[in-house]
Copies of this chain bind each other. A is one copy, B any other.
């Protein structure tokens, strides 16, 4: 849509971006869960900046090489926010959606199969990211004191069960929770819609033994009639 150069860049940047995103998650998770001191802490911090730089370069390159720059800019404001707001840690993790989009693009042909893979991937990632963000925000303040508790809380929330044994009390924690809840609604929606599409199709297969007439068949009929006309026209001089 934005020119062939952008398409080439998409292909070239795929793997570097995936690796950068994985490294970012590792560094971020290590920093939050293990709270490292000394050298490891510096390494994590460095990794966070390096991966951030990769995403900044990717964003700027796209902005430069696109054909309709302003249109691209307006349609990718979220990408900008993810890149220029590195201080807001949880939002920084939204970069992972890029990776998911890559996974989605690379898996097979069948739409429904792709929806299932994308849904499982997005759910696991969302639970992981939300657990990290909530654990980071609530530790030492709320009830969520260990990382396994945070993961458990994330599952209880995304499935909209909501026991209430753990719940966030900080603003960051609650914003993360709302994001997770909306993710939960989307999850219910995707599960149901995929099943509905499957059932509707199977029931249709069962009922419709008859096959509808197609454009092609009618076209063939027209050809037959044309031939017939020529035959009749051929009769005239003979008549």
B-binding residues in A (CB < 8 A): 110-112, 115, 148, 152, 155-157, 159-165, 167, 171, 174, 177-178, 181-182, 184-203, 206-207, 210-222, 224-229, 231-236, 238-239
Complex formed: what's the CA distance from A206 to B227 in Å? 35
Give this chain's copy count: 4
- Assuming the A-B contacts A162-B163, A189-B192, are A222 and B222 also in contact, with contact meaning beta carbons closer than 8 angstroms in the complex? no
**What are the residues of chain B within 8 A of A203 when measuring CB–CB?**
111-112, 197, 201
Main secondary structure of the interface of A (DSSP, over half): helix
Minimum CB–CB distance from A108 to chain B (whole Å) comes to 12
Q: Which 6 residue pairs of A and B lie closest in terms of their CB atoms, listed nearest first?
A: A161-B162, A193-B196, A238-B239, A164-B164, A159-B181, A193-B195
- Assuming the A-B contacts A111-B206, A164-B165, A200-B196, are A213 and B211 also in contact, with contact meaning beta carbons closer than 8 angstroms in the complex? no
Q: Are A185 and B165 in contact (CB under 8 A)?
A: no
Residue of B nearest to A225 (CB): B224
